[in-house]
Structure 1
Amino acid sequence: MASKTKVLITGATGYIGGSVLNRLLQRSDLMSSLDIRVLVRSPEKAKKFEQFGFTPVIGSHADESVVVPAVSEVDILIATTDCDNLEAAQIALKGMKKRFDSTGKQPVYIECSGTGVYVEQSGGMHSTDTVYDDANPDQIETLAPTQPHRNVDLEILAADKEGYIKAYFILPPTVWGIATGPLVDAGLVNPHSRQIPVLIKACLQHRRGGMVGAGKNVWNNVEIHELADFFIILLDAVLNNKAGLGHGREGFYNTVNGEHTHYQLAESISKALVELGLGDNPTPSTFTKEEEEKYLSFWAPFYGTNSRCLATRAKALGWNPKKTTDDVLATMKTEIDTLVTTKRIDSIGPV
């Protein structure tokens, strides 16, 4: 009997990583044919993950003594933890190099990066005509190494170019929606994103939808379960050695569908707050500099940026997301109500 392909997933308790695992639980063929390992910090949660058929590895993604041996034992790493942690990526690459040296076969590194790599500052005062296409590696290579996430992406790209890994990059934009599934029900996985809840918390304290500048800046969006679907599509393609599947500079996948201005987002939050009795005005307002510092802290400039891109390569692989900007705007009332009633809003940073 052939040995099972070994897969390690970091960020297993997180919003994205946990959603990927919930999608895997829906695929009995993958659950039976793969040896799926999950990196978790908590021994208590590790035991619960084991009950779902996953093999736990206890430790942090930045703990070299744990990660190097764990990665050196697997064929595929799906990293969903922190796309700005260069040290963690370097540690993972050490494990992958060890795997390559011992087997002569390139392990696969699937990195969850983000469309934050495309940001440009506008202070919320205008949009941009610059749109990055994931099928245009020459355009992506024009990005400055100082862009968010880019130093980590470049480190992984260098390893791919050196030839000891095959690297694939999944770039989510603003991810929205409340995650669902057995792992959420078991209390193992965070069901909320960070980007929108941070803004919601600021608006709750403001008692009104707020934005940086005029809110004319534009970002793409994607629903959490449709994002998780793409991870499985890419994993299937890797496992089946899909013809023409590029990696490295040809392995970037923008997982985007809709596009929204930050004014639209602030307005939908403002209206929802009024409907829930938590706000005073359905029309959003611009945060003052003092309010930006008070409510958004170091995140404030980020909410005034543009990040626009196309999912040409991702959709060519068979990904077919259905949820649009209208859907994300329509969910704000439910998102706010859930965050408040469960008190999860209290643990949302940075404010």
Structure 2
Amino acid sequence: MSSPAKDVFLIGPGLIGADLIELLLQDDYTITTLVRRSEHAEQIKQHYPSAKIIIGTLDDFDLIRQHTASHSITIHAATADHLPSVEAVLAGVRERAAGGLPTIYIHTSGTSCLVDNSRGMYISDRIYSDSRPDEIDAIPPDAPHRAIDLAILAARKQLATRAKIIVILPTLVYGVGKHIPRLSIQLPTMTRFALKHGFAPVIGKGLSVRCNIHVQDLVRAYMVILRWMERSSAEEVLRNPYFFCENGEEMLWRDAAAEIGRQLYQAGRIEDPEPRNVPKELYPDLFGPYSPTTVGANSRSRGDRLRELGWNPREKNVLASFREDELPLLLAENEQFNGYAGVASSGTHVLKSLEESGLTAMS
């Protein structure tokens, strides 16, 4: 068997993608990466001078399609909620398939698709495993990230063995970028909220749980999946489209809020360490109408397939990482904070359930 081509088109060299570049280069892959801002491009070039950088956005359909079509491997790590960029990738994959060229495509989704409407009031006993793909297939089509995942799954079915396509669903990602000090989303946003309002935020009683994964454990998982896809037949890859990635620990949202309150109190930045419930009028300073599901819901999963491939987590846990690595950067920030500006979640069924509970009304 001939050696697989080792040319990678990486969309999104952010918290995940930037550190993934290092591992790919160490394994002799050539990298072309799509970068939105020239300042970020300079950072990537400084640390990874052999990486080829193209400037563009996720809305540059033809640019993404062309580079997907000219690379044997495409990894989308920019966002789980941008359908046009995924459609551009799939167009490039189809172009390759029409020409008889094989493709590996790894798409980054997330386990927000598993969230419930617990609103911090209880721990769910529902635990998903990627070894049971039928349970994941049954997730409502209007769940967070699911519209994008379904578009990929439809293309996967259509292309069959002409392309190898996998969806990786990381749990809550935490940690700081290794060379480019980017932060994750949930706990840093909760911390910025606390610094602005003087208390650590919690949704409901904070009794729901979220699985999590350190960014360095996650990028190693991408490499394990990529190598498995390279050595496996297209028929084998086609059997199961999903990989969860989690470190075996579950974080109670109230414990996260208590740690944020304790650390900010010790740093002299707030007067009371005790977490408080967030009134809905302050949701815009968290994640808007998605606050109850982004930082207050259950999302429980087991990445059994990665462990079967020999992957195991080895980084510090989420609260240790927060204290030691993320908090110092957060305390040094001086920008005005008005809530998370990106898309942390999606899904119309989430909003519908929140509206039914009267939780999306804001002043």
TM-score, reference length from structure 1: 0.87
Q: How does 1:5-44 map to 2 (within 5 A)?
A: 5-12=6-13, 14-25=14-25, 27=26, 30-31=27-28, 34-43=29-38
- Distance in 2 separating the partners of 1:197 and 1:47: 25
Q: 1:112 to 1:266 in 2, by over 3 A?
A: same
Alpha-carbon shift at residue 162 of structure 1 (Å): 1.1
Q: Which residue matches 2:356?
A: none
Alpha-carbon shift at residue 43 of structure 1 (Å): 4.7
The letter for the 2-side match of 1:99 is R
1:329 to 313, 319, 326: 319
Q: Which residue matches 2:172?
A: 174
Deviations 1:10-45 (A, max 9, x none): 001x111112113334x2xx23xx322111123565
The letter for the 1-side match of 2:9 is L
Say whether residues 1:220 and 2:211 are aligned partners.
yes
Say whether residues 1:84 and 2:75 are aligned partners.
no
Q: Give the unaligned 5+ runs of structure 1.
A: 185-189
Q: 1:244 to 1:322 in 2, by over 3 A?
A: farther
2:53 to 56, 78, 86: 56
Q: Which residue matches 1:316?
A: 308
Deviations 1:33-92 (A, max 9, x none): x32211112356546645621122221122112111111101111000121111211111
The letter for the 2-side match of 1:214 is K
Task: Tell me if the contact between 1:62 and 1:88 (Cα under 8 Å) persists in the aligned partners.
Answer: yes
Q: 1:174 to 1:7 in 2, by over 3 A?
A: same
Residue 337 of structure 1 aligns to a residue in which SS?
Answer: helix
Residue 213 of structure 1 aligns to a residue in which SS?
Answer: coil
Q: Percent identity of the aligned residues?
A: 28
- Distance in 1 separating the partners of 2:279 and 2:195: 15
- Distance in 2 separating the partners of 1:48 and 1:288: 39
- Distance in 2 separating the partners of 1:262 and 1:120: 14
Deviations 1:207-230 (A, max 9, x none): 222101000111001111111111
Q: How does 1:50-199 map to 2 (within 5 A)?
A: 52-102=49-99, 104-163=100-159, 164-181=162-179, 184=180, 191-199=182-190
- Distance in 1 separating the partners of 2:333 and 2:114: 34
Task: Tell me if the contact between 1:78 and 1:111 (Cα under 8 Å) persists in the aligned partners.
Answer: yes
- Distance in 2 separating the partners of 1:249 and 1:298: 37
Residue 124 of structure 2 aligns to a residue in which SS?
Answer: coil
The letter for the 2-side match of 1:15 is L
Q: 1:305 to 1:279 in 2, by over 3 A?
A: same
- Distance in 1 separating the partners of 2:235 and 2:182: 31
Alpha-carbon shift at residue 341 of structure 1 (Å): 1.1
Alpha-carbon shift at residue 316 of structure 1 (Å): 0.9
The letter for the 2-side match of 1:84 is D
Deviations 1:176-218 (A, max 9, x none): 111213xx2xxxxx52111221111112122222101000111
Deviations 1:299-350 (A, max 9, x none): 31222211001111121111110346xx322333342221221447859724
Q: 1:347 to 1:59 in 2, by over 3 A?
A: farther
Task: Tell me if the contact between 1:49 and 1:55 (Cα under 8 Å) persists in the aligned partners.
Answer: no
- Distance in 1 separating the partners of 2:232 and 2:336: 42
Q: 1:249 to 1:298 in 2, by over 3 A?
A: farther
Q: 1:44 to 1:220 in 2, by over 3 A?
A: closer
- Distance in 2 separating the partners of 1:191 and 1:261: 24
Task: Tell me if the contact between 1:159 and 1:165 (Cα under 8 Å) persists in the aligned partners.
Answer: no
Aligned residues: 334
Residue 306 of structure 1 aligns to a residue in which SS?
Answer: coil
What's the C-alpha RMSD, in Å, of the aligned pairs?
2.4
Indicate the larger mover: 197-206 or 269-278: 197-206
Alpha-carbon shift at residue 124 of structure 1 (Å): 0.9
Alpha-carbon shift at residue 165 of structure 1 (Å): 2.4
Indicate the larger mover: 246-255 or 299-308: 246-255
1:256 to 233, 239, 246: 246
Task: Tell me if the contact between 2:58 and 2:85 (Cα under 8 Å) persists in the aligned partners.
Answer: yes
2:237 to 241, 247, 268: 247
Q: Give the unaligned 5+ runs of structure 2.
A: 343-363
- Distance in 1 separating the partners of 2:256 and 2:57: 34
